[in-house]
Amino acid sequence: MNKIRVLIVDDSALVRQVLTEILSQDPAIEVVGTASDPYLALDKIRRLNPDVLTLDVEMPRMDGLSFLEKLMRAHPMPVLMVSSLTERGCETTLRALELGAIDYVTKPHLDVRLGTLEHAEEIQDKVKVAAQARVRRRARQPAPAARSTDSSADRVAPHPVMFRTTHRVIAIGASTGGTEALVQVLTALPADSPGIVVVQHMPAGFTRSFAGRLDNLCRVSVKEAGNGDRVLAGHVLIAPGDFQMEVARSGAEFAAKVFPGEPVNRHRPSVDVLFHSCAQALGPNAVGIILTGMGADGARGLLAMRQAGAHTIAQDEASCIVFGMPREAIALNAAEEIAPLDRIASAALRLAAGR
């Protein structure tokens, strides 16, 4: 079995040393080189032909985003980015994912060595997932949706009345590759879509920025969920990083329950937590969607939703960056439909309308 060849690109000698130590402990991975800036990295990519690149987001001589954009045009390859959890880092990380990075790991502020070593297994797993991911040239980013200057007016032209009168809820779960998959799904929805709840595997500090980015792109309103936020038509609630999120029912109304529960399937937020709550609280009044991602989080929850009468959709293998979570759901017969990414929004609306 050939080892996964990794090139580490980081301006910190300490980080390069710690990442080399972590990755070299996994028998499936070989660190073939390191580079302290993008120019050195380009030369080593040509000479060493790595399978995966780990990339810092703030680099000397050329910033990480500029390098990533050039790399994905000239030599597309799996990139795992390394980022600190600062507000600037959040925006940089989201932009890197948009440009084609497969995933990211967090670089701790304090005690970089110890903090990074504590995430050794996660880093090894993400490198191995990245090595198997489908790398694509990214389409041009969609323009922000037009908005009315009148705060009392709809943000776009109204769509069929049925979306304003139903009590259906669309629940979406995603992991690796999910940030851009969610952009494609959510930007395709009309302003009066059913209420939507989303778990995207993301740490604390990233989900607020991610929700803000989506809000600028979408006709639906998007925000990071707060405990007690109502699930309303035309609104999307993103589970906050490092918290679990459920949907709770009170009479004819639905609301998000956000709480600091234990990790489930090693994730907080967990797709299974959200989906199981939807099965219990919503039953047939829900549509469950599982998108690209590593692991199996969400598969059993999607099955519970289907067994409770909900409509369920899994993203197909060809359009997934990582066909992990959808594959596990399909294997459990949890998915009523299997659809390519560009058809998931229309399928969700059709099923939510009972067609």
Tell me which of 267, 297, 311, 316 is the catalytic residue.
297
Q: Which of 244, 290, 249, 279 is nearest to 167 (CA)?
A: 249
Enumerate residues 6+ apart whose C-beta is below 8 A from 109. 84, 85, 115
Q: Are residues 314 and 198 in the same domain?
A: yes
201 is catalytic: yes
CATH of the domain at 124: 3.40.50.2300
Q: Are strands 195-200 and 235-238 parallel, antiparallel or unpaired?
A: parallel
Domain count for the chain, please give it: 2
Q: Are residues 185 and 62 in the same domain?
A: no
Domain that holds residue 227: 162-352
Does the residue 149 lie in any domain? no
What pLDDT, on a 0 to 100 scale, did the predictor assign at position 157? 33
Taking Cα atoms as reference points, which of 123, 125, 133, 128 lies closest to residue 101? 133
- Are 128 and 188 within one domain? no
- Same-domain check for residues 173 and 115: no
pLDDT at 159: 31
pLDDT given for residue 27 in this prediction:
95
Q: What is the pLDDT of residue 251?
A: 66
In whole angstroms, what is the distance from residue 105 CA to residue 85 CA?
A: 10
Active site residue 276: no
Question: How far is the C-alpha of 51 from the C-alpha of 37, rounded, in Å?
Answer: 18
Mean pLDDT, consecutive 10-residue segments, the chain of 355 residues? 92 91 94 95 94 87 88 92 66 84 75 70 92 72 41 32 54 96 97 96 91 96 97 97 93 89 96 97 95 96 96 97 97 97 97 86
What's phi and psi for 21, nearest 5 deg? -60, -45
- Quick check: is 297 catalytic? yes
Catalytic residue (choose from 36, 84, 201, 311) = 201
pLDDT the model gives residue 61: 82
Task: Output the DSSP codes for 223-252.
Answer: EE--TT-B--TTEEEEPPTTSEEEEEEETT
Which is the catalytic residue, given 36, 84, 175, 270?
Answer: 175
39: burial class by Cβ within 10 Å (0-12, 13-18, 19+)? middle
Q: How many residues does the chain have?
A: 355
